[in-house]
Amino acid sequence: MPTVFLVDASLSMCKPVSLQDRAEPMQIRHLAAEGLNHLLQYMAIHCKLEFCSVVVFSSLWEVVEPFTRDFDALRDRLTRLQFYDKTNIEVGIEGAKHAVLQEWGASCSCQIVLVTDGCTPRCLPQLNSPLFPFPCKLHIVPLCEPGSPQLKASLPFYQKLIDSTGNGAIVLPEGGLSLKSVNQAFVSIGESSYVSWQGRLVCGHLESHVTLCPPPDPQIKRVYDFEQITVKMSDTIEICGFMSIPDVAHPATVSRHLVLPIPAPKPDQSETSPTPENAQLRIEDGGMDDEAADDGKQPSFCVLLHGSLKVESMVAVCKLGASWYGMLYSWADSKKKSNLMLSTFEPGEGSVPWWTSVSSLGSNMIEKLKLPIKPAEKPSYSMNSVVWIRTTGLQADIQKILRHARKLPEKMSAFYKELNRLRRAAISYGFYDLLETMSSILERECTLLPGTQHPEAALQLSHAASQLKVTAGELPDIDTPIAPLKTKLSSSYMD
Amino acid sequence: MSFPLSHKTVMVLDHGSDFLASSQQMIDLDQITKTRTLIPLAPISKSLWSCSVESSVEYCRIVWDIFPSGRLIRFVIGDGEDTRFLNTWGEQSVSQVMASFGKIPPPSTAKNKLDIVRAVEMALGTLCEPSEIQHERRTNLDLQTEVVNRGRVIVITQLQGETETLKLEKKLNTTLDIVNKVATQDDKQVPLQEVEIILIHTSPGTKEISIAPSQRKYGTLLTIEAHKVTSGYFLSEKLCELVQVHYDLAITTVTGIPMKEEQNANSSANYDVELLHPAAAHSDFKVDQSDEKHEVTLKWCTPRTAPAHELQYCTAAFRITPVDINSRPSSCLTNFLLTGRTVMLELPRKSGSKLLSHMLASHGGEIYIHTLGTGRSALEDPPSISEGTGGRVTDYRITDFGTFMKDHSLVPYDTSKGPTTENPLDMTLASISRTTLYWPLIISSTSVYNAQSHLEPLLSIIVKPSITLDQVVECKKVILNMMHMETKGSTLPLSSGSAGPRGKSGLKKEEQYRALWAELEQLVRLYCTTAEHQQVLECLLECKKSETVASLDAPKSVKLEPKASHSSENPSPSEDIKPKKLRVAPDLLGKTSLLGLIKDNMSRRPATSMWLGYNPDTKKTQLYQNIKDKANREENVPMEIP
């Protein structure tokens, strides 16, 4: 889940403000850098693999630090920002949008932390909903006195920004402007939105404690079966069965996460430190000291699963929540390092159309069907549909019939099959002129037959020509196809 | 519960005498014969009626190819005398509709005109009937939501000019009010909350009437659009345009498809094929160009040999249908895909770099376009799994778990028929749960699974939820055979891998057997659910008793129920015999040679290697790994015309 620090670089950011916990006033821009620093510190501990970038805006925008995991570089860049003219939030949004799309595309979910001075923009822009073409959470931090009139004027606009984004919040320094309250505001963003996911990977009685990286969105909203549904990630990833990669056949995924095995939380510690923040710290600690070496030697189901999935080229289909599924498979970034990966599907039982519904998948019964099931009604392109919108389509169909006609009686069944196909379509379209013309064409073809041709050919052609004719005022029967003329000669040519 | 406008559509086709007229677009059917000296046959033309049927069926074809369910279309056919439905909400396929049209005679020659208001009234009336899924939602008491009913009516007719059209639209608005009032009073109907009526005036182009394209709103419920088109090909073109708007579809043009010529097999020319699919497949492109026209051109990439075995990262997958279904390039492409091959599509970029953005593949006879994830991955440079918890353990039972996975491979079941009430997935879950009751993760913590060859078929039989008496006998045979082996003093087979680490080979023969019996007992006790299982257990206990008196106290401590045990601590019977973290068992020290000690130590080291291609699972190093890829890249598989 990449993050954009979208920093207001208008001149008003250089305005000094007085703080409760400092004698000297401080410029807003320094306050912003300080606050973001605190957020970065929090992230360095809790989600080391997060990508962040810094985008500044005034009347123009610029990506001053491209997406990186190097938190020191980010911290350093934040202290060296330049400031220009006025605040134009529209431009800033455009910049963030551009930065994310260029790097990650439209399917990656992102977070944007907008830091500004709380001044109301002169003219309020027209906002399109959604504001961003990718899933996004927007945090707005206005660095000004919470009760100030300028902020009161700006808040409805900020709220509109968040509403059009669909997710996010305005984060205000609590209890007046102070270095501490500002830092706390930024850390609170970390606490609310950069929480690691921890849970269990379960396969019957086998299980592993795992963490997902990047953490999944706690819930996603989708329209499925005409219904707006919200699915929530449960804390258990339950394996329901396995499938070979060709059978899986590249389903659409909402998000991808690395599945990393972690040591089981020790019961005594979880009593003393129930907050997720402490739990996370403990794991990080665990990774640092000698325990890590022991963990490496403690067998983990997760590693076994990864090994077998890799060797067999299979995936494990798993349940993530009510009517929400995903798959686990071995994935390699480079040749050397392979990993267990979780892809989440679109919510709903029918998220992979060629599996029909996930709950109808099963392993150990007798009456087996092969994946994928054939649809009840074949699509038009695989059932020889008749479409004569372009003249060439009709001409090609007629030529095909004539080709068979010239090879009568050998091509008897093909000739009648094509002829009846044309006849049926002509009747359905009410295109009786075509039947008459086709009849004429066949009659003429009959006169053109070379003398060496089998006598059967002439018999069948004139039979077909007469059968095609439409009696005035009568509806030709679509359900009775033209049958070949029964002659003494013909029986041997019908298969 | 909000259903979109496109959930239900009614097509009203004018069957009045005006539609008997020719579309005046001549079709020359006598092309080839021109070369022979013959009197050519007169060209023919479709009637306006034929054009209406043809273009509306094409509209349906596109909709039902892309949405096999959930998008319903019903036809109303009307002339001055009679107005009727052609199909029901249940008859939703092109073949059914075509068969029904076959029973409709061409428009009558006697002067009569379609009563548009009457036909639209019927159309609106049927839109008020809940579809199967709407009915289900309405009657489901768990869902306390109201069904929002919407619908669309498309009328293909001839209008009488601008002012008349305005009058007609007003009348249609009143009709909707009346229909809705009736529906409110009827328990079986759902009033419409949004309706779109599309009036299409079609004529051969000779009878000019001024109808400006318009879109007018009537109240909050009704929108009426009016269009004027020349009949024939142009009507089909209009409906193809409308189907894209109505169902939010877009076109991808696949360009540069190499195809061999029928006459000249040596030459190959490049063709383009247009494919229709939901516009969401282009979501990554829409961003830059926010124009209305959803059309993207992508380049064909010659398919590689077996990309099916590689899992592609896809962000979306949608059904497609060709725009021009019977053209040679289209059918060539669809046939190629239906044989199971996949085609990558490349987004041409100014910079000249290659970006694979989409993939075409068929699944179960339907062709899909997959949108490939093209952005940078947020998962760059991840830590390897071997660096984490359990990463340094090298003797996982990878092959055994592979067998377990294959036993639980999923296939779809036809759940509509059959006596089973439980769904297949839940049954599989139950089977997974039972099979894993006792499942040691690593080779060195189990004796039983190292001696599998001697213990089968007992191991696979005992796991079954119910067993036959014959199977009980088979199990007993296995146990007796094992006992026989022990008395004979045969060495226990320790399958590959187990001989090395953890010094199992260091154990005495008697200890090995003792561990095996104890583990076997624990296993059988865990799976003991029926009287037949009980017989196997009793036989086992009987044999054990006669074997050793010393080990009798150990099995009593065995837990009967696996208490949500952590995988890493899967109860291992041999644990009470061999101390867990013992590097070298002190009592064995005297009997071990120095070489043995060194070897033992070496085997404890984590599997690391300087070789780039080293695979710790197979313990093999593959040389020249990239050579295959290179060969594949150079391979060129052109498509053949059937």
Q: A347-398, pLDDT tens digit by residue?
A: 888 889 888 888 888 875 545 555 556 667 789 998 888 999 988 889 889 9
Do the chains contact at B65 and A381, CB–CB below 8 Å?
yes
> How many Cβ atoms are within 10 Å of A295's Cβ, its own excluded?
20
Q: Is the pLDDT of residue B590 over 50?
A: no
Does the residue A292 lie in any domain? yes
How far is the alpha carbon of A179 from chain B, nearest alpha carbon, in Å?
33
Binned at pLDDT 50, 70 and 90, residue B240 comes out as: very high
Both A231 and A172 in one domain: the answer is: no
Both A220 and A171 in one domain: the answer is: no
**Intra-chain end-to-end CA distance of chain A, in Å:** 64
Interface confidence, given as ipTM, is: 0.81
Both A336 and A396 in one domain: the answer is: no
B157-183: b (≥16 Cβ within 10 Å) or e: bbbeeeeebeebbeebbebbeebbeeb
Q: Is the pLDDT of residue A88 over 90?
A: no
Chain B (196-225) residues lying within 8 Å, Cβ to Cβ, of chain A = none
Binned at pLDDT 50, 70 and 90, residue B134 comes out as: confident
State yes or no: cis peptide before A372, omega within 30 of 0: yes
Using the Cβ of B103 and the Cβ atoms of chain A, whether some distance falls under 8 Å is answered with: yes
Both tokens of B545, joined, read: 């008793």
Q: Using the Cα atoms of residue A234, residue A236, residue A240 and residue A244 in order, give the sign of their dihedral.
A: positive
How far is the alpha carbon of B554 from chain A, nearest alpha carbon, in Å?
24
Binned at pLDDT 50, 70 and 90, residue B171 comes out as: very high
Both A238 and A304 in one domain: the answer is: yes
Both A115 and A205 in one domain: the answer is: no
pLDDT at B632: 56
Does the residue A90 lie in any domain? yes
Average pLDDT of span B127-148:
82
Helix, strand, or coil (residue A204): coil
The single-letter DSSP state of residue A121 is: P
pLDDT at A198: 87
Domain range enclosing A11? 3-193
Count how many residues are written for chain B. Answer: 642
Q: B421-462, pLDDT tens digit by residue?
A: 677 888 888 888 888 888 888 888 887 787 777 778 878 888
Does the residue A325 lie in any domain? yes
State yes or no: cis peptide before B457, omega within 30 of 0: yes
Both A30 and A175 in one domain: the answer is: yes
pLDDT at A135: 85
- Find chain A residues with C-beta within 8 A of B371's C-beta: 252
> How many Cβ atoms are within 10 Å of A366's Cβ, its own excluded?
4
Helix, strand, or coil (residue A89): helix
How far is the alpha carbon of A477 from chain B, nearest alpha carbon, in Å?
8
Q: Is the pLDDT of residue B581 over 60?
A: no
Does the residue A379 lie in any domain? no
- pTM for this prediction: 0.80
Binned at pLDDT 50, 70 and 90, residue B613 comes out as: low
Long-range contact list for B460-465, CB < 8 A, 24+ apart? B462/B523, B462/B524, B462/B527, B462/B533, B462/B536, B463/B434, B463/B435, B463/B437, B463/B527, B465/B434, B465/B529, B465/B530
| Percent of chain A residues past pLDDT 90, beyond the cut | 31
pLDDT at A428: 94
Q: A178-190, pLDDT tens digit by residue?
A: 889 999 999 999 9
**Measured between alpha carbons, how far is B394 from A291 in angstroms, rounded to an integer?**
19
Does the residue A74 lie in any domain? yes
Contact present, A232 and A245 (Cβ < 8 Å): no
How far is the alpha carbon of B166 from chain A, nearest alpha carbon, in Å?
31
Both A230 and A349 in one domain: the answer is: yes
Helix axes B94-101, B48-66, angle to 10 degrees: 160
Domain boundary among A150, A172, A193: A193
Which residue type, as a one-letter code, is found at position B248? D
Domain boundary among A141, A160, A193: A193
Does the residue A319 lie in any domain? yes
The torsion angles phi and psi of A274, rounded to 5 degrees, stand at -80, -15
Both A60 and A118 in one domain: the answer is: yes
Q: A150-160, pLDDT tens digit by residue?
A: 888 888 889 98
Average pLDDT of span B116-121:
92
| Percent of chain B residues past pLDDT 70, beyond the cut | 75
pLDDT at B618: 65
Contact present, A463 and A483 (Cβ < 8 Å): no
Lowest mean pLDDT among A109-113, A325-329, B516-520, B601-605: B601-605
List of residues 6+ apart from A240 with CB closer than 8 A: A317, A318, A319, A325, A358, A361, B410, B425, B428, B429, B432
Q: Which of A428, A435, A442, A478 to mutate to test the interface with B (most CBs of B within 10 A)?
A: A428
How far is the alpha carbon of B434 from chain A, nearest alpha carbon, in Å?
7
Which candidate from B286, B378, B436 shows the least CB-CB separation from A51? B378
pLDDT at B35: 59
pLDDT at B77: 94
| Percent of chain B residues past pLDDT 90, beyond the cut | 30
Q: Is the pLDDT of residue A222 over 80?
A: no
How far is the alpha carbon of A20 from chain B, nearest alpha carbon, in Å?
40
Q: Is the pLDDT of residue A37 over 90?
A: yes
CATH assignment at residue A90: 3.40.50.410
Contact present, B410 and A248 (Cβ < 8 Å): no
Q: Is the pLDDT of residue B396 over 60?
A: yes
Closest CA to A404 of A460, A450, A333: A460
pLDDT at B516: 79
Using the Cβ of B32 and the Cβ atoms of chain A, whether some distance falls under 8 Å is answered with: yes
Q: Using the Cα atoms of residue A77, residue A81, residue A87 and residue A92 in order, give the sign of their dihedral.
A: negative
Does the residue A375 lie in any domain? no
Both A54 and A164 in one domain: the answer is: yes
Do the chains contact at B388 and A354, CB–CB below 8 Å?
no
Both A188 and A201 in one domain: the answer is: no
CATH assignment at residue A358: 2.40.290
pLDDT at B417: 58
Does the residue A382 lie in any domain? no
pLDDT at A367: 56
Do the chains contact at A430 and B423, CB–CB below 8 Å?
no
Average pLDDT, chain B: 79
pLDDT at A271: 41
Q: Is the pLDDT of residue A423 over 90?
A: yes
Which candidate from B236, B411, B420 shows the least CB-CB separation from A368? B411
List alpha helices for B67-204, DSSP H: 94-101, 116-128, 132-139, 162-185
Count how many residues are written for chain A. Answer: 495
Both A114 and A173 in one domain: the answer is: yes
List of residues 6+ apart from B209 with CB closer than 8 A: B159, B160, B161, B201, B203, B228
Both A186 and A223 in one domain: the answer is: no
Average pLDDT of span A195-219:
86
Chain B (63-82) residues lying within 8 Å, Cβ to Cβ, of chain A = 64-65, 68, 70
What count of CB pairs under 8 Å joins A to B?
A: 459
- Find chain A residues with C-beta within 8 A of B47's C-beta: 430-431, 433
Say how many domains are in chain A. 3
Which candidate from B334, B366, B617 shows the least CB-CB separation from A310? B617
**Measured between alpha carbons, how far is B54 from A431 in angstroms, rounded to an integer?**
10
Do the chains contact at A249 and B392, CB–CB below 8 Å?
no
